[in-house]
Chain A
Amino acid sequence: MSKPILSIKNLKKTYPNGVRALKGVSFDVRRGEFLVIIGLSGSGKSTLLRCLNRLHTPSSGEIIFHPQASTRDSAVLESATDIATVEGEKILDIRRRIGMIFQHFNLIERHSVIDNVLHGALGRTPTWRSILGLYSHAERAKAMGFLELVGIGDKAYYRAAQLSGGQQQRVAIARALMQSPELLLADEPVASLDPATCHVVMDYLRKVNRELGLTIICNLHFLSLVRQYADRVIALKGGELVYDGDPQQIDDAWFSRIYGETAKEVHVN
């Protein structure tokens, strides 16, 4: 068996205001899997994802990252790296290797769709070139390719704001793919979409997981989606890991343990 892409050990995060959002979480992420994180709102899911790509700095613990050396041209990271403690320029390098999509898409609404996808290349483009918009033909072709992959090649020159929510999330996926990441983080990617669109977006995530072999870590709200898309699921409760295993085995007992006694499962179809 190959090494896990991430080994997280005893990860803790206390915010400056004293909130202990993560209280020592440990788990491995296997290369190529579709891992889903569930838990009540406030259980620390977003905090966990943001520690993994260092949008937030963990308070303590380890996040050992085993990059696939052969696929990367950058020499900054070769062997296993502890994401939790890297500093300076190396943080940017970590972020480049890890794509992320968000509940509210976080696109630049005034920019065109294709420019939004090209933002995925910012990390490897010199600042002055990116400000002048001087992306190479190869980069542009690549961006166009990813737009085709998520099925909105025809919208390339629309403003991002003109697209529907589901389409914007697909642009965000294309932007993340543009980074050529090894890992894709998705923070409740379908929480602000309607049920039908929700499946379209989840299907594209599954597609990049299966076809491009991208490892995905995705926060989700609905258990029905979890059973449909996840290879493996972990559950957080109050900043602690309370479940790690097969999504099909989350029965009613587990459900009420994760979500509280009075919770009822809702289905999205």
Chain B
Amino acid sequence: MSQIIRRTIFDACIFAYIIVFLLIAVQRPDSDHLIEQMSGYLLIISALGIIGALLSLFLRAKSVTTLGDIIYMPAYLRPSIPGPLPLYRTFWGVELLMTLVATFVLGWFITDINPLRLLEADAISSALRLFGEVASPDWSILPKATIKIIESIFIAFMATALSTPIAFVLSFLSARNIMGKTWLGTVICACLRIGFNLSRSIEPILWAIIFSVWVSFGPFAGMLALMVHSIASLAKQYSEIVEGVSDGPIEGIEATGAGAIQVVWFAVVPQVVLPYISYTIYRWDTNLRMATILGFVGGGGIGTLLMEYQGQSRWPQVGTIIVVMAFVVWLMDAFSSHVRSAVK
């Protein structure tokens, strides 16, 4: 039943989307006009949605397979893809192609794509001048840049180091196979997961803005921003590892009469340490990349310096910083993939 509702809503949305796209393509309204006429458009979209839903139900009665059917049908019922007919001769295939084409065309206009602008003469010459200056770095600021990149490395390190133990504990509390056995556990588990997803959907750069107001500009703000983001990301990744552990050892330890914490420590933890280490190193690596730009919003580290020079259009100095950043990020990347392959 819910499958029918879902596919109908899906098809209705696709129908409304394509028709609205055609309307916009014909009328070519600008955004001011769109904003003024918003309520009118919403009305049209709702009406189209209803028509789409009816159409979709009609197609269902005619047993035509729509894109909504394909997406929401259980996997074992799904026809083989590619099937006996070519895509453009099935209804759902045409529906899919139209949606993709409409999205691409719409995207082209919304992002204001204009390849000719890349080739305008004075644009090219100023770009070349900029490249020239960036490509002849001013090495006299190397010591300054080094000190700042070290700051970034430690911002990333401390954020990782402080978030790891917290995420470690939270990962067990948010793993369904550990917590799902009791009613209370299931509730805790679900709340934690919602919390992680919310905090992960806020990018570290936004956290940095918040913390730079809270604890004022500087590395501490950047560290806190990365830490909040890392706790949620690591806890989620860790808990997926926990959910993948094998049950045998858990049963083996449970049968000895061990308590719940002992079961986690002796049966689950040994199965997850290596992947945990691997994810943690990778997180440090990612945090370092983010730490290099957090300076733009007051999060300390080398980004602060980069923003300063870029604001003054001092391109040779910007060039030095780019080289230093690229080198350190490359080094960290090599280190992290080396460690990760060692702990496999």
Residues in chain A within 8 A of chain B (CB atoms): 53, 55, 92-100, 102, 104-111, 119-120, 122-123, 127, 130-131, 172, 175-176, 178-179
Inter-chain contact A122/B255, CB cutoff 8 Å:
no
List, in ascending order, chain A residues with CB within 8 A of B262's CB.
122, 127, 130-131
Q: How far is the CA of A133 from the CA of B251 in the complex (A)?
A: 21
Inter-chain contact A53/B255, CB cutoff 8 Å:
yes
Q: When A108-B266, A130-B262, A131-B265 are in contact, do A119 and B256 touch as well, CB less than 8 Å?
A: yes
List, in ascending order, chain A residues with CB within 8 A of B270's CB.
108-111
Q: Does any Cβ of A come within 8 Å of B259's Cβ?
A: yes
Q: Does any Cβ of A come within 8 Å of B84's Cβ?
A: no
Q: How far is the CA of A65 from the CA of B270 in the complex (A)?
A: 34
Q: How far is the CA of A122 from the CA of B256 in the complex (A)?
A: 7
Residue-wise, chain B 222-256 has the 8 Å CB interface mask toward A (1 for contact) of: 00000000000000000000000000110111111
Q: Does any Cβ of A come within 8 Å of B261's Cβ?
A: yes
Q: How far is the CA of A101 from the CA of B271 in the complex (A)?
A: 20
Residues in chain B within 8 A of chain A (CB atoms): 248-249, 251-259, 261-262, 265-267, 270-271, 273
Of B249, B257, B271, B273, which contacts A106 at CB under 8 A?
A: B249
Inter-chain contact B265/A108, CB cutoff 8 Å:
no
Q: When A96-B256, A108-B253 are in contact, do A102 and B248 touch as well, CB less than 8 Å?
A: yes
Q: When A122-B266, A131-B265 are in contact, do A102 and B258 touch as well, CB less than 8 Å?
A: no
Kindly provide the distance from the CB of A69 to the nearest chain B CB, expressed in whole angstroms. 18
Of B248, B256, B265, B273, which contacts A175 at CB under 8 A?
A: B256
Q: How far is the CA of A178 from the CA of B259 in the complex (A)?
A: 16
Q: Enumerate 5 A-B pairs (CB-CB under 8 Å) in ascending A order.
A: A95-B254, A96-B256, A109-B249, A127-B261, A130-B266
Kindly provide the distance from the CB of B248 to the nearest chain A CB, expressed in whole angstroms. 4
List, in ascending order, chain A residues with CB within 8 A of B253's CB.
108, 119, 122
Besides A96-B256, A172-B252, 17 new A-B residue pairs in contact (Cβ under 8 A), listed by A number? A53-B255, A55-B254, A92-B258, A92-B259, A94-B257, A95-B257, A98-B255, A99-B255, A99-B256, A106-B255, A108-B253, A110-B270, A110-B271, A111-B266, A122-B258, A127-B259, A127-B261
Inter-chain contact B256/A106, CB cutoff 8 Å:
no
Kindly provide the distance from the CB of B254 to the nearest chain A CB, expressed in whole angstroms. 6
Smallest CB-CB A-B distances: 3 pairs: A106-B252, A123-B257, A96-B257
Inter-chain contact A104/B258, CB cutoff 8 Å:
no
Q: How far is the CA of A102 from the CA of B249 in the complex (A)?
A: 10
Kindly provide the distance from the CB of A128 to the nearest chain B CB, expressed in whole angstroms. 9
List, in ascending order, chain A residues with CB within 8 A of B252's CB.
102, 105-108, 119, 172, 175
Inter-chain contact A122/B257, CB cutoff 8 Å:
yes
Inter-chain contact B266/A106, CB cutoff 8 Å:
no
List, in ascending order, chain A residues with CB within 8 A of B265's CB.
127, 130-131
Kindly provide the distance from the CB of A41 to the nearest chain B CB, expressed in whole angstroms. 18
Inter-chain contact B259/A95, CB cutoff 8 Å:
no
Kindly provide the distance from the CB of B181 to the nearest chain A CB, expressed in whole angstroms. 11
Q: How far is the CA of A53 from the CA of B230 in the complex (A)?
A: 41
Inter-chain contact B267/A108, CB cutoff 8 Å:
yes
Inter-chain contact A95/B256, CB cutoff 8 Å:
yes
Most buried by A among B256, B262, B265, B266: B256
* Chain A, Cβ-Cβ closest to B255: A100
Kindly provide the distance from the CB of A241 to the nearest chain B CB, expressed in whole angstroms. 24
Kindly provide the distance from the CB of B247 to the nearest chain A CB, expressed in whole angstroms. 9
Q: How far is the CA of A127 from the CA of B213 in the complex (A)?
A: 43
Kindly provide the distance from the CB of A31 to the nearest chain B CB, expressed in whole angstroms. 20
List, in ascending order, chain A residues with CB within 8 A of B273's CB.
110
* Chain B, Cβ-Cβ closest to A115: B266
* Chain A, Cβ-Cβ closest to B273: A110
List, in ascending order, chain B residues with CB within 8 A of A100's CB.
255
Kindly provide the distance from the CB of B172 to the nearest chain A CB, expressed in whole angstroms. 14
Q: How far is the CA of A100 from the CA of B252 in the complex (A)?
A: 8
* Chain A, Cβ-Cβ closest to B261: A127
Inter-chain contact A106/B259, CB cutoff 8 Å:
no
Of A111, A120, A127, A131, which contacts B256 at CB under 8 A?
A: A120
* Chain B, Cβ-Cβ closest to A107: B252
Most buried by B among A94, A98, A108, A175: A108
List, in ascending order, chain B residues with CB within 8 A of A108's CB.
249, 252-253, 266-267, 270
